[in-house]
Amino acid sequence: MSRAHVAAITVAALMSLSGGSASPPAPSAGAADDRAAAVSARIQSLNPALGAATASRIWDAVDRYAAKYELAPDLVLAVLEVESHARIEARSPKGALGLMQVMPHMAARLDLAGNHTTVETNIEAGCVILAHNIGRLGEDDGVSAYFWGSDIRGVSYLHRVQRARALYRRILAS
From the first residue on, what is the mean pLDDT of each consecutive set of 10 residues in the chain (174 residues)?
A: 37 39 48 90 96 96 98 98 97 96 92 88 97 98 96 96 98 92
Q: Cα–Cα distance between 121 and 1 in angstroms, integer?
A: 60
Question: Model's pTM, two decimal places?
Answer: 0.82
Whole-number pLDDT of residue 112: 87
Q: Quickly name the fold that domain 28-173 has.
A: Lysozyme (1.10.530)
Whole-number pLDDT of residue 28: 56
| CA triple 18-24-26, angle to 5 deg | 95
Query: Coil, strand or helix: which one is 98?
Result: coil
Whole-number pLDDT of residue 7: 33
Whole-number pLDDT of residue 12: 39
Whole-number pLDDT of residue 31: 74
